[in-house]
Amino acid sequence: MGVQESEPLDVERIREDFPILERRVGGDVESPGEGDGDDTPLIYLDNAATSQTPDQVVDVIADYYRSYNSNVHRGIHSLSQEASVAYEQAHDRVADFVNADGREEVVFTKNTTEAENLVAYAWGLAELGPGDEVVLTEMEHHASLVTWQQIGKRTGADVKYVRVDDEGRLDVDHARELITDDTEMVSVVHVSNTLGTINPVEEIADVAHDHGAYVFVDGAQSVPNRPVDVKAMDADFLAFSGHKMCGPTGIGVLYGKREILEEMQPYLYGGDMIRKVTFEDATWEELPWKFEAGTPNIAQGIALAAACDYLDDLGMDRVETHENQLAAYAYDRLTEHDDVTVYGPPGDERGGLVAFNVDGVHAHDLSSILNDSGIAIRAGDHCTQPLHDKLGTAASARASFYVYNTREEVDALVEAVDEARQLFA
């Protein structure tokens, strides 16, 4: 997928919605958030881990707590009714954002990881057994890889991995070999959080469905950054997190086709997911509530809907183009130097991040040096240890971009990397 052309984002206006970007960093860590006027302006390039949250979303959270803070589905008084309506409408809004068929297909979780575990426990433990197969990819996040690995150990199902080639692309021919009539689940990351690879999930889904298998798409790095249509990709399940898409922490989403969710049994029990209880047995509420046991993250769910509004107002096609262009520019600038290795496909074929290493400089040291210049990146294995083993490195530095980042910030990143190179020369 090349970099697309569209009307550019008004980044300077967008930045006004994110007061945190005016922070200066490097001050007293004993007083978080206060900063120091003599320190360095923040350049935030750690968006694949967590994006920043605009005032419009923060205001929704504050309004909930200030105006109608109450539990949902548990009272007939006004506050509870208002909270219930807002929380239910949030499911509708999120369903619309990914083109699902309604709130029944949208389960709110804490994050992508919990969504993966919900399916693995509620579906996997019941359906998998010896002789069955689960197919993953070598670029999976631990949330997918470890979850299905452990379910395989419990059920006796075999777990297999689709190869990643030397340029960081998924070997689709190998996927066709691995996915057979014994395959019950294929779990594939849409956009790799390390390589930036945009995987052909529609093609993988076609292969899986030809063999009667379900497809779980990890959308943690795609839903926040590009238009995602669950019907177009024909995903059976899709998971993503609010905190990577201008929303709050503590809220994630599991999309599932309604007919599959209706057949699945819940794996958490308690309040709100119950229809009727006797001393002998219980029955479950309708979708999606049967998978949302206990008091949910109400404010966060309502705020996630506001984040969807914010991103749709920007235009997800423009969000995608902006990020792709920044990633391509960063790739070109970083690869000007022979001692810099950037992992994954070429710059015009990746999502909005670059993971890289500088010869002779450990990723953790590089991150620390960049922090001295006010630049926030991530360093480590990015929850993809097996992939890093395959790449032949224990860790990498990762810069990831979002709607408020600029080419000038990429230039500052490259300049700081040059300074680190000279320091370790």
Verify whether residue 246 is a known catalytic residue.
Answer: no
SS3 318: helix
CA atoms within 13 A on the CB side of 403: 30
State both tokens at 137: 């990819």
Q: Which amino acid is at 220?
A: A
d(CA 185, CA 205): 10
* CB-count burial class (<10 Å; 0-12, 13-18, 19+) for 363: buried
Contact 176, 207 (CB under 8 A): yes
Rounded alpha-carbon distances, angstroms, from residue 222 to 192, 197, 240, 351: 9, 11, 8, 8
- Do residues 383 and 143 make contact, with C-beta atoms less than 8 angstroms apart? yes
Q: Which residues contact 116 (CB under 8 A, 6 or more apart)?
A: 143, 144, 147, 187, 216, 218, 239
Cβ partners under 8 Å of residue 135, min gap 6: 159, 160, 161, 162, 175, 178, 179, 183, 185, 186, 187, 208, 213
d(CA 383, CA 204): 23
Out of 145, 246, 383, 420, the active site residue is 383
Cα gap 318→7, rounded to integer Å: 7
d(CA 236, CA 332): 37
How far does CA 277 lie from the centroid of its chain? 36
> What is the 3-state secondary structure of 40-74?
EECEECECCCCCCCCHHHHHHHHHHHHHCCCCCCC
State residue 357 phi and psi, 5-degree precision.
-135, 150
CA 45 vs CA 143, 264, 329: distances in Å: 22, 39, 14
**Which residues are part of the catalytic machinery?**
383
